[in-house]
Structure 1
Amino acid sequence: MVKFILPEEVLPLRSLMLRNGKPLAECVFEGDSSYDTFHLGYYADDEIKSVATFMRNDFFPDEGEGYQLRGMATHPDEGGKGFGAALISFAIEYLKEYNTAYLWCNARSSAAGFYKKLGFVNMSPEFDIPGIGFHYEMKLNLNHNI
């Protein structure tokens, strides 16, 4: 089940999966507490199994209002169960209600196939985020998706 969660609730999975176990305080993103940021968690067995953060960010300014998907992480024991896809599907429907034009992310190269299956399109050559790894800019137009 997908639920809106508090910013601090995303931190344990961010630390575990995206920041090599760094202290939670080092896993906070600028904008986590902004009024137009929201966080989603996928619950199973009364525990958060997957998280994602969505921040207002018009990265493609000529294409309307955009949101950035950041910090998506699923517990290593729960991968491949559709939890991450459920979070994105929920966010898409939510963002469409507010006429958001697109959702974009810096997708880890290893996760690009996952995003492509959900309809995201690669918008850049592969690039390195120092200390984090290789990524692609990927975008999903929301006004053309179901």
Structure 2
Amino acid sequence: MIRFIQAKDTLPLRSLVLRNGLAENECYFDQDKLDDTFHLGYYHEDQLVCILTCQKENHGKLPKDAYRLCGMATHPDFLRKGYAKTTLDAAMEHLKTQLQIDYLWFNARKNAFPFYERMGFEFMSDEFDIPGIGPHKEMFKFL
């Protein structure tokens, strides 16, 4: 089941999957508490197993209002079960139908390129390194 969640609910998975065990209180994003930022979580039974955050942020290479995907993570014990796809599909549907947003963009980790390509996202940058996190490319999709 997918639900809108609070920023604090994302912290355990952000820490575990995205920040190599960094203290949860250090895993907040600056935009987490803005009114136009939203967080989705996929629950398997009563356990939160997949999260994502979408924040309103334009990108200079693309026109119009946009949202940026941040902090998407799936618990390692629940990979390859379709939870990430289902959660991302729900976010894109919300952006398109409820918020009338034309596109979603983000910095994708190298190990996630195949997932996002299967979801129809395209690259819009060369590979670059985010210190302490690793190689990324910018990706986007018109909704």
Q: Are 1:25 and 2:25 matched, yes or no?
A: yes
Question: Does residue 74 of structure 1 match 2:74?
Answer: yes
2:124 matched residue in structure 1: 123
Q: What SS does structure 1 have at the residue aligned with 2:72?
A: strand
After TM superposition, give the deviation of residue 62 of structure 1 in Å.
4.8
Question: 1:60–1:66: 8 Å Cα contact kept in structure 2?
Answer: no
Tell me, yes or no, if structure 1 residue 59 matches structure 2 residue 59: yes
Contact 1:67–1:103 under 8 Å retained in 2: yes
Answer yes or no: is 1:109 the counterpart of 2:110: yes
Q: Structure 1: how far apart are the matches of 2:65 and 2:113? A: 23
By how many angstroms is 1:25 displaced?
1.1
Q: Report the CA distance between 1:61 and its aligned residue.
A: 6.3
CA offset digits 1:41-78 (Å, max 9, x no partner): 00011110000000000014651110000000000000
1:107, 1:135 within 8 Å by CA — same for their partners in 2?
yes
**Distance across 2 between alignment mates of 1:91 and 1:55:** 11
Partner of 1:99: 100
Task: Give yes or no for contact 1:18–1:71 (8 Å, CA) kept in 2.
Answer: yes
Match for residue 88 of structure 1? 88
DSSP 3-state at the match of 2:107: strand
**Mapping of residues 28-47 of structure 1, within 5 Å:** 28-47=28-47
Q: Name the counterpart of 1:134.
A: 135
| CA displacement, residues 14-38 of structure 1 (integer Å, 9 cap, x when unaligned) | 0000000010111111100000000
Give, as a single letter, the amino acid of the residue that structure 1 aligns with 2:39: H
Partner Cα separation in structure 1 for residue 128 and residue 87 of structure 2: 25
Q: Which runs of 5+ in 2 are unaligned?
A: none
Q: Which of structure 1's runs of 4+ aligned residues deviate more than 2 A?
A: none
The letter for the 2-side match of 1:73 is A
Distance (Å, rounded) in 1 between the aligned partners of 2:61 and 2:109: 23
User: Which one-letter code corresponds to 1:115 in the other structure?
Assistant: Y
| Partner-residue secondary structure (3-state), 1:103 | strand
Q: Which runs of 5+ in 1 are unaligned?
A: none
